[in-house]
Amino acid sequence: MNMRQLLAVVLLTAAAARAADAPPPDAWRDVDPANLALMDTRYGQIAIELAPEFAPKHVERMRALIRAHFFDGKSFYRVIDGYVAQGGMENDTPASRAAWPPLKAEFDRPVGDDVMFTPLGSPDPFAPETGHANGFPAGRDAKEGRLWIVHCPGTFAFARDNAPDTASTEFYIVIGEAPRRLDRNLTAFGRVISGMQFVQKLKRGDRDIDNGVIKPGRARDPILRVRLAADLPAKARPHFQVQRTDSAAFAAAKQARMNPGTSFLVRLPPPVLDVCDTPVAVRGVKTSP
Protein backbone atom coordinates (compact mmCIF):
# COMPACT_ATOMS: atom_id res chain seq x y z
CA MET A 1 0.00 0.00 0.00
CA ASN A 2 1.47 3.35 -1.02
CA MET A 3 0.97 6.70 0.73
CA ARG A 4 -1.94 7.69 -1.49
CA GLN A 5 -3.74 4.45 -0.83
CA LEU A 6 -3.03 4.72 2.88
CA LEU A 7 -4.41 8.25 2.91
CA ALA A 8 -7.54 7.08 1.12
CA VAL A 9 -8.10 4.34 3.67
CA VAL A 10 -7.66 6.80 6.53
CA LEU A 11 -10.15 9.17 4.94
CA LEU A 12 -12.61 6.38 4.33
CA THR A 13 -12.35 5.19 7.91
CA ALA A 14 -13.05 8.76 9.00
CA ALA A 15 -16.03 8.89 6.64
CA ALA A 16 -17.37 5.63 8.05
CA ALA A 17 -16.99 7.00 11.58
CA ARG A 18 -18.92 10.13 10.62
CA ALA A 19 -21.59 8.02 8.96
CA ALA A 20 -21.95 6.05 12.18
CA ASP A 21 -22.88 9.30 13.94
CA ALA A 22 -25.55 10.20 11.40
CA PRO A 23 -28.98 9.76 12.94
CA PRO A 24 -30.84 7.71 10.27
CA PRO A 25 -28.99 4.86 8.57
CA ASP A 26 -30.87 5.41 5.32
CA ALA A 27 -32.20 8.92 4.88
CA TRP A 28 -33.78 10.54 1.86
CA ARG A 29 -34.54 14.11 0.93
CA ASP A 30 -37.65 15.07 -1.07
CA VAL A 31 -36.96 16.91 -4.29
CA ASP A 32 -38.71 20.29 -4.05
CA PRO A 33 -41.28 20.56 -6.87
CA ALA A 34 -40.14 24.17 -7.33
CA ASN A 35 -36.72 22.79 -8.30
CA LEU A 36 -37.92 19.99 -10.53
CA ALA A 37 -37.94 20.66 -14.28
CA LEU A 38 -39.71 18.07 -16.43
CA MET A 39 -38.55 18.06 -20.03
CA ASP A 40 -40.55 15.99 -22.50
CA THR A 41 -38.83 14.52 -25.55
CA ARG A 42 -40.09 12.07 -28.11
CA TYR A 43 -38.14 9.37 -26.27
CA GLY A 44 -39.44 10.05 -22.78
CA GLN A 45 -39.35 12.52 -19.92
CA ILE A 46 -36.13 13.96 -18.50
CA ALA A 47 -36.35 15.10 -14.87
CA ILE A 48 -33.82 17.72 -13.82
CA GLU A 49 -33.26 18.84 -10.25
CA LEU A 50 -32.28 22.51 -10.12
CA ALA A 51 -29.96 23.83 -7.42
CA PRO A 52 -30.88 27.37 -6.35
CA GLU A 53 -28.34 27.16 -3.54
CA PHE A 54 -25.64 27.17 -6.25
CA ALA A 55 -27.06 29.61 -8.77
CA PRO A 56 -30.18 31.44 -7.55
CA LYS A 57 -30.40 33.77 -10.53
CA HIS A 58 -30.04 30.96 -13.05
CA VAL A 59 -32.72 28.89 -11.34
CA GLU A 60 -34.99 31.91 -11.22
CA ARG A 61 -34.40 32.41 -14.95
CA MET A 62 -35.01 28.74 -15.67
CA ARG A 63 -38.34 28.84 -13.83
CA ALA A 64 -39.36 31.99 -15.71
CA LEU A 65 -38.41 30.46 -19.07
CA ILE A 66 -40.41 27.34 -18.28
CA ARG A 67 -43.44 29.37 -17.21
CA ALA A 68 -43.22 31.44 -20.40
CA HIS A 69 -43.21 28.15 -22.39
CA PHE A 70 -39.97 29.38 -23.90
CA PHE A 71 -38.52 25.92 -24.58
CA ASP A 72 -41.68 24.27 -25.89
CA GLY A 73 -41.20 23.45 -29.55
CA LYS A 74 -37.53 24.38 -29.59
CA SER A 75 -34.88 21.70 -30.09
CA PHE A 76 -31.68 20.00 -29.11
CA TYR A 77 -29.75 21.67 -31.88
CA ARG A 78 -26.16 20.89 -30.90
CA VAL A 79 -25.51 17.38 -29.69
CA ILE A 80 -21.98 15.99 -29.61
CA ASP A 81 -21.63 12.35 -28.69
CA GLY A 82 -19.55 11.88 -25.56
CA TYR A 83 -19.78 15.56 -24.69
CA VAL A 84 -22.98 17.63 -24.43
CA ALA A 85 -26.57 17.94 -25.64
CA GLN A 86 -27.33 21.61 -26.03
CA GLY A 87 -30.85 22.93 -26.45
CA GLY A 88 -33.13 25.91 -26.59
CA MET A 89 -32.94 28.83 -28.94
CA GLU A 90 -30.03 28.58 -31.31
CA ASN A 91 -29.73 32.25 -32.15
CA ASP A 92 -30.80 35.12 -29.97
CA THR A 93 -32.99 37.80 -31.47
CA PRO A 94 -33.29 41.42 -30.37
CA ALA A 95 -36.63 40.50 -28.82
CA SER A 96 -35.26 37.50 -26.93
CA ARG A 97 -32.30 39.53 -25.70
CA ALA A 98 -34.65 42.20 -24.39
CA ALA A 99 -36.88 39.63 -22.70
CA TRP A 100 -34.04 37.54 -21.25
CA PRO A 101 -31.07 39.77 -20.55
CA PRO A 102 -27.69 38.15 -19.89
CA LEU A 103 -27.11 36.76 -16.42
CA LYS A 104 -24.20 37.40 -14.16
CA ALA A 105 -22.13 34.22 -13.94
CA GLU A 106 -22.67 31.98 -10.92
CA PHE A 107 -19.72 29.64 -11.53
CA ASP A 108 -19.22 28.85 -7.86
CA ARG A 109 -20.46 29.94 -4.45
CA PRO A 110 -19.09 30.36 -0.94
CA VAL A 111 -18.82 27.31 1.27
CA GLY A 112 -21.71 27.55 3.72
CA ASP A 113 -23.86 25.79 6.24
CA ASP A 114 -26.88 25.78 3.93
CA VAL A 115 -25.25 23.03 1.84
CA MET A 116 -24.47 19.57 3.14
CA PHE A 117 -21.07 18.69 1.70
CA THR A 118 -19.87 15.12 2.03
CA PRO A 119 -16.23 14.76 0.97
CA LEU A 120 -15.44 11.80 -1.21
CA GLY A 121 -11.99 11.36 0.28
CA SER A 122 -10.39 10.49 -3.04
CA PRO A 123 -7.70 12.39 -4.92
CA ASP A 124 -9.00 14.30 -7.95
CA PRO A 125 -6.84 15.68 -10.76
CA PHE A 126 -9.08 18.69 -11.36
CA ALA A 127 -10.08 19.98 -7.91
CA PRO A 128 -8.47 20.24 -4.48
CA GLU A 129 -11.39 18.21 -3.16
CA THR A 130 -14.54 16.60 -4.49
CA GLY A 131 -17.65 15.24 -2.89
CA HIS A 132 -21.39 15.72 -2.92
CA ALA A 133 -23.17 18.93 -2.03
CA ASN A 134 -26.88 18.50 -1.36
CA GLY A 135 -26.58 15.44 -3.58
CA PHE A 136 -24.92 17.21 -6.50
CA PRO A 137 -21.41 16.20 -7.56
CA ALA A 138 -19.24 19.04 -6.32
CA GLY A 139 -15.78 20.45 -6.05
CA ARG A 140 -14.54 22.40 -3.05
CA ASP A 141 -11.59 24.67 -2.49
CA ALA A 142 -11.34 25.07 1.28
CA LYS A 143 -8.54 27.62 0.95
CA GLU A 144 -10.62 29.85 -1.29
CA GLY A 145 -13.81 28.88 0.54
CA ARG A 146 -15.60 28.07 -2.72
CA LEU A 147 -17.94 25.29 -3.75
CA TRP A 148 -19.27 24.36 -7.21
CA ILE A 149 -21.14 21.70 -9.14
CA VAL A 150 -18.74 19.73 -11.34
CA HIS A 151 -19.32 18.61 -14.92
CA CYS A 152 -20.37 14.97 -14.73
CA PRO A 153 -22.67 12.98 -17.00
CA GLY A 154 -26.11 14.46 -16.33
CA THR A 155 -24.91 17.86 -15.13
CA PHE A 156 -27.25 20.64 -16.25
CA ALA A 157 -25.80 24.06 -17.07
CA PHE A 158 -26.33 27.17 -19.11
CA ALA A 159 -24.21 27.83 -22.20
CA ARG A 160 -22.79 31.27 -22.79
CA ASP A 161 -20.84 33.38 -25.29
CA ASN A 162 -17.15 34.14 -24.81
CA ALA A 163 -17.67 36.75 -22.11
CA PRO A 164 -18.48 35.23 -18.71
CA ASP A 165 -21.71 37.12 -17.98
CA THR A 166 -23.60 36.18 -21.13
CA ALA A 167 -25.75 33.14 -20.30
CA SER A 168 -29.34 33.85 -21.16
CA THR A 169 -31.58 30.95 -22.22
CA GLU A 170 -29.53 28.10 -23.73
CA PHE A 171 -28.85 25.01 -21.67
CA TYR A 172 -26.75 21.89 -22.03
CA ILE A 173 -26.65 18.48 -20.43
CA VAL A 174 -23.37 16.55 -20.18
CA ILE A 175 -23.69 13.20 -21.97
CA GLY A 176 -20.17 11.79 -21.87
CA GLU A 177 -17.02 11.33 -19.84
CA ALA A 178 -16.87 14.30 -17.48
CA PRO A 179 -15.49 17.41 -19.26
CA ARG A 180 -14.04 18.71 -16.03
CA ARG A 181 -12.09 21.53 -17.69
CA LEU A 182 -15.44 23.33 -17.87
CA ASP A 183 -15.81 23.39 -14.07
CA ARG A 184 -16.15 26.94 -12.73
CA ASN A 185 -16.14 28.20 -16.30
CA LEU A 186 -19.87 27.83 -16.87
CA THR A 187 -22.78 27.98 -14.49
CA ALA A 188 -23.73 24.40 -13.64
CA PHE A 189 -26.91 24.42 -11.58
CA GLY A 190 -28.65 21.09 -11.73
CA ARG A 191 -28.51 17.46 -12.72
CA VAL A 192 -30.66 14.92 -14.48
CA ILE A 193 -32.17 12.69 -11.80
CA SER A 194 -34.28 10.57 -14.16
CA GLY A 195 -34.41 9.89 -17.90
CA MET A 196 -30.72 10.09 -18.76
CA GLN A 197 -31.29 7.20 -21.18
CA PHE A 198 -33.60 9.49 -23.18
CA VAL A 199 -30.96 12.22 -23.33
CA GLN A 200 -28.61 9.58 -24.72
CA LYS A 201 -31.01 8.83 -27.56
CA LEU A 202 -30.94 12.39 -28.92
CA LYS A 203 -29.75 12.77 -32.49
CA ARG A 204 -26.11 13.72 -32.69
CA GLY A 205 -24.42 16.37 -34.77
CA ASP A 206 -20.91 16.05 -36.12
CA ARG A 207 -18.30 17.76 -33.99
CA ASP A 208 -16.18 18.40 -37.05
CA ILE A 209 -19.02 20.07 -38.93
CA ASP A 210 -20.23 23.37 -37.51
CA ASN A 211 -19.08 22.33 -34.03
CA GLY A 212 -21.86 19.79 -33.63
CA VAL A 213 -24.74 22.04 -34.64
CA ILE A 214 -27.34 19.99 -36.50
CA LYS A 215 -28.87 21.48 -39.61
CA PRO A 216 -32.23 23.07 -38.88
CA GLY A 217 -35.20 20.91 -39.72
CA ARG A 218 -36.43 17.48 -38.95
CA ALA A 219 -33.05 16.04 -38.02
CA ARG A 220 -33.11 17.95 -34.75
CA ASP A 221 -34.92 16.32 -31.86
CA PRO A 222 -37.59 18.66 -30.53
CA ILE A 223 -38.08 19.71 -26.94
CA LEU A 224 -41.77 18.93 -26.77
CA ARG A 225 -42.37 20.92 -23.59
CA VAL A 226 -40.84 21.75 -20.25
CA ARG A 227 -42.85 22.17 -17.07
CA LEU A 228 -42.03 22.86 -13.48
CA ALA A 229 -43.37 20.13 -11.19
CA ALA A 230 -44.65 22.84 -8.82
CA ASP A 231 -46.99 24.07 -11.56
CA LEU A 232 -48.67 20.70 -11.97
CA PRO A 233 -51.64 19.63 -9.86
CA ALA A 234 -50.25 17.89 -6.77
CA LYS A 235 -51.67 14.57 -7.94
CA ALA A 236 -49.91 14.80 -11.29
CA ARG A 237 -46.46 15.64 -9.94
CA PRO A 238 -43.77 13.01 -10.05
CA HIS A 239 -42.26 12.67 -6.62
CA PHE A 240 -38.54 11.98 -6.33
CA GLN A 241 -36.29 11.48 -3.38
CA VAL A 242 -32.51 11.82 -3.30
CA GLN A 243 -30.43 9.83 -0.87
CA ARG A 244 -28.81 11.94 1.84
CA THR A 245 -25.06 11.79 1.56
CA ASP A 246 -24.59 11.83 5.34
CA SER A 247 -26.39 8.50 5.63
CA ALA A 248 -24.71 5.23 6.45
CA ALA A 249 -26.39 3.83 3.35
CA PHE A 250 -24.57 6.27 1.08
CA ALA A 251 -21.25 5.52 2.78
CA ALA A 252 -21.94 1.83 2.23
CA ALA A 253 -22.86 2.45 -1.42
CA LYS A 254 -19.53 4.20 -1.96
CA GLN A 255 -17.68 1.31 -0.40
CA ALA A 256 -19.56 -1.15 -2.58
CA ARG A 257 -18.84 0.93 -5.69
CA MET A 258 -15.16 1.07 -4.91
CA ASN A 259 -15.05 -2.65 -4.48
CA PRO A 260 -17.97 -4.51 -6.05
CA GLY A 261 -17.11 -7.76 -4.36
CA THR A 262 -13.80 -9.50 -3.94
CA SER A 263 -15.51 -12.62 -5.22
CA PHE A 264 -15.61 -10.96 -8.64
CA LEU A 265 -12.60 -8.67 -8.63
CA VAL A 266 -9.31 -10.43 -9.06
CA ARG A 267 -7.20 -7.36 -8.43
CA LEU A 268 -8.45 -4.99 -5.77
CA PRO A 269 -8.64 -1.56 -7.41
CA PRO A 270 -7.01 1.44 -5.73
CA PRO A 271 -9.36 2.58 -2.94
CA VAL A 272 -10.46 5.69 -4.81
CA LEU A 273 -13.63 6.94 -6.44
CA ASP A 274 -14.29 9.31 -9.33
CA VAL A 275 -16.93 11.78 -8.14
CA CYS A 276 -18.60 11.52 -11.56
CA ASP A 277 -18.83 7.74 -11.28
CA THR A 278 -20.32 7.94 -7.78
CA PRO A 279 -23.92 9.00 -8.30
CA VAL A 280 -26.22 9.72 -5.42
CA ALA A 281 -29.24 7.43 -5.54
CA VAL A 282 -32.61 8.75 -6.64
CA ARG A 283 -35.93 6.99 -6.21
CA GLY A 284 -39.41 7.68 -7.42
CA VAL A 285 -42.07 7.62 -4.76
CA LYS A 286 -45.63 6.64 -5.52
CA THR A 287 -47.97 9.18 -4.01
CA SER A 288 -51.43 8.01 -3.10
CA PRO A 289 -54.08 9.64 -5.28
In whole angstroms, the minimum distance from the beta carbon of 270 to a second copy comes to: 6
**Which position among 257, 284, 285, 287 is part of the footprint of a second copy (CB under 8 A)?**
257
In whole angstroms, the minimum distance from the beta carbon of 55 to a second copy comes to: 15
97 binds a second copy (CB under 8 A): no
Of 224 and 272, the one with the shorter C-beta distance to a second copy is 272
Half-sphere exposure of 173 (CA within 13 A, CB side): 25
- Which residues, in sequence order, are bridge partners of residue 213? 78
196 binds a second copy (CB under 8 A): yes
107 binds a second copy (CB under 8 A): yes
Binding marks (x or -) toward a second copy, 202..241, rule CB under 8 A?
A: --x-------------------------------------
Amino acid at 60: E
177 binds a second copy (CB under 8 A): yes
Q: What DSSP string describes the chain? A: --HHHHHHHHHHHHHHHHHHHSS-SS-EEEPPGGGEEEEE-SS-EEEEEE-TTT-HHHHHHHHHHHHTT-STT-EEEEE-TTSEEEEE-SS--HHHHHHSPPBPP-S-EE--TTS-EEE--S--SSSSEEEEETTEEEEEETTTTEEEE---TTEEEE---SSGGGB-S-EEEE-SS--GGGTTTSEEEEEEEE-HHHHTTSPP--TTTGGGBPPSSTTSEE--EEEEGGGS-GGG---EEEE-TTSHHHHHHHHHHH-S-TTT-SSPPPS---GGG-PPPEEE-PPP-
270 binds a second copy (CB under 8 A): yes
Of 153 and 190, the one with the shorter C-beta distance to a second copy is 153
Of 52 and 270, the one with the shorter C-beta distance to a second copy is 270
Instruction: Mark the segment that binds a second copy (CB under 8 A) among 12-20, 30-38, 124-132, 235-243.
Output: 124-132
In whole angstroms, the minimum distance from the beta carbon of 63 to a second copy comes to: 26
* Binding residue count for a second copy, defined by CB under 8 A: 46
Of 72 and 90, the one with the shorter C-beta distance to a second copy is 90
CB-CB contact of 30 with 239 (8 Å): yes
**Which position among 242, 279, 280, 282 is part of the footprint of a second copy (CB under 8 A)?**
279
**Which position among 73, 82, 110, 112 is part of the footprint of a second copy (CB under 8 A)?**
82
Residues that bind a second copy in the complex, under the rule CB under 8 A: 81-82, 105, 107, 122-126, 152-154, 162, 164, 175-185, 196-197, 200-201, 204, 257-260, 263-267, 269-270, 272, 274, 276-277, 279
